[in-house]
Amino acid sequence: MMQVLRSIERGGRVVTTGLSFVLFGVGGLAMALAVFPLINIGFHARDLRQRIAQIIVQRTWRMYIRIMALMGTVSYECRGEDILKRDHGVMVVANHPSLLDIVFMMAFMQRTKCVVKAGVWNNPFMAGVVRAAGYIPNLGDPERLLEDCAQALREGNNVVIFPEGSRTVPGQPRVMQRGFAYAALKAGAPVRLVSITCVPPNLQKGVPWYRVPVTKPHWTLTVHDRIEVFEFAGQDPLPVAARHLVTRVDEMMEEKLRA
């Protein structure tokens, strides 16, 4: 009997997971077509339009994860949410085990930009959202990307980035790229570490969305201490400082995920 109930519950989560993806796409398209054009008409200052758009995205995604929780698709918690709310001009670095990581991160943060891939930047469902919010596109120009991230930090925005570049492949070692370190050092911005776990694993790289785990997945976001970059900034040349900063972040991430 228990096995039958678990199978029914799992089947229900397959359905609600599919509904969640539909809701995400439709919601993004609706904001791009109906909400953000009104903001562009009503507010002429670019920075003000972007801040308003960021607030709307943050609150929409917060509502979105609550809806998923109410449907029984996921459960979640953020340890240190108040810290994230207070951060400004901080490079926020996180590991990337699941497709929903960025949604959870952005749902708990304010005045925040993230780096988006070219596929998202040009996606008809998401292009209007990410462009209105002033998110940072990664279009294959590393120098431009680093400067855009550094400038966003100088302006007081938080920048969220996954140094691994894409979702972690199960069973393979984590490899961090150095771009976030260069941008943080250029801007003199602190680095905030956030560790993400999803138990049991769900929406991993290479795993179809409908292959949901037997039990409901639970996301835990844990906010850790900031790393001040002034102790690295004096190192010369810049690549040496960036390498040391990445090593520090990688060691801390490994320690936090094993705790």
CB-facing half-sphere around the CA of 72: CA atoms within 13 A:
11
Any idea which residue has 């929409």 for tokens?
A: 60
State pLDDT tens for residues 205-230.
889 999 999 999 999 999 999 999 98
**What domain range includes position 177?**
2-258
* pLDDT tens per residue across span 23-77: 998 888 888 888 888 887 877 788 888 899 999 999 999 999 999 999 999 999 9
pTM for the whole structure: 0.91
The domain that holds 41 is classified in CATH as: 3.40.1130
Q: How many domains does the chain have?
A: 1
Name the residue among 113, 110, 159, 109 with its Cα closest to residue 135. 113
Q: For 85-123, what is each residue's pLDDT tens digit?
A: 899 999 999 999 999 999 999 999 988 999 888 888 888
* Dist. CA 245–CA 227, nearest whole Å: 9
- Distance between CA atoms of residues 64 and 11, nearest Å: 21
- Residue 110, both tokens: 């304010």
What is the H or E stretch that residue 223 is in? strand 218-227
